[in-house]
Amino acid sequence: MTSAIIASFDGASRSYDGAADIQSIVAEHMLADVAQFAPRSILDIGCGTGLLTALAHQRWPEAAITAVDASPAMLDMARAKVPSARFVRADAAKLDLGERFDLVFSSMVLHWLSEPQKVFAQWQRLAAANGMLRVALPVADSLAEWKRFCGQHGVASRLWRFPDRPVFDAPGPTRQHTLVYASAREFLHSMKRTGAAISDPNSAGTTPVVLRKLLHHAPKPFPATFAIAYLRMP
């Protein structure tokens, strides 16, 4: 994960929980998928402010939880929610924890890494012999409304480039979650408050003047659909 991405999430640590609508939806889906499992050890990769970490602790209070993130400010927020967990500052793409876990979670993180397919294969080795790996991430069809709107006005969407679902050799559904914002400006503001307003570095820039004009023409309310791949191993 690049320093720019880490800095963005550091800066959003205090506003994150108030804007993490899609993250909350995804976390609930992930937990429901393994509700009948009884893990003794859990790893949360890219724990952020501890949204999924806290849910896992509530569901399995006796399990030993390890939570990893590259953002120190995010880890501080997570630690306050689940003081009993072990928190590790580390790059999610280069994990070497020296142990395996009954349940490995990662929610809304993998797409930020430069080689998500390779990292996903590495994460599989973190699950114990009879363990489970559950990973959720937005894929290429996400936020089609914003991309289409920008295209209609000849402006680059500047969205982060989400990976294609077929590159991951793993079962699991792709679900469409649509959130409705009061305006396109509110949609962008929500992305910023969660640290996710990081632009594709290969995308052309957009000046503030152009962006203001663009937002003036945006429909209200403004929908934003996230295509979330829920990867399962096994």
Asked which of 80-84, 122-126, 208-212, 214-218 is least confident by mean pLDDT, the reply is 208-212
15 pLDDT more than 80: yes
Is there a contact between 230 and 172 (Cβ–Cβ < 8 Å)?
A: yes
Quote the number of domains for the chain.
1
Mean pLDDT of 34-43: 96
Q: How far apart are CA 23 and CA 107, in angstroms?
A: 8
Mean pLDDT of 57-83: 98
Is pTM, for the whole model, over 0.85? yes
pLDDT at 131 (0 to 100): 97
Tell me how long the chain is.
234
User: For residue 59, which of 81, 34, 24, 76 has the smallest C-alpha distance?
Assistant: 34
Average pLDDT, the chain: 95
pLDDT at 78 (0 to 100): 98
> Which domain range does residue 185 map to?
3-233
pLDDT at 123 (0 to 100): 97
202 pLDDT more than 80: no
**What CATH number should be reported for the domain holding residue 173?**
3.40.50.150
102 pLDDT more than 70: yes
pLDDT at 22 (0 to 100): 98
pLDDT at 198 (0 to 100): 87
pLDDT above 70 coverage of the chain, percent: 99
pLDDT at 204 (0 to 100): 65
Long-range contacts of 90-99 (CB under 8 A, 24+ apart): 91/1, 92/1, 92/45, 92/46, 92/68, 92/119, 93/1, 93/119, 93/122, 95/45, 95/68, 95/122, 95/123, 95/126, 97/43, 97/66, 97/68, 97/126, 99/41
203 pLDDT more than 90: no
pLDDT at 128 (0 to 100): 97
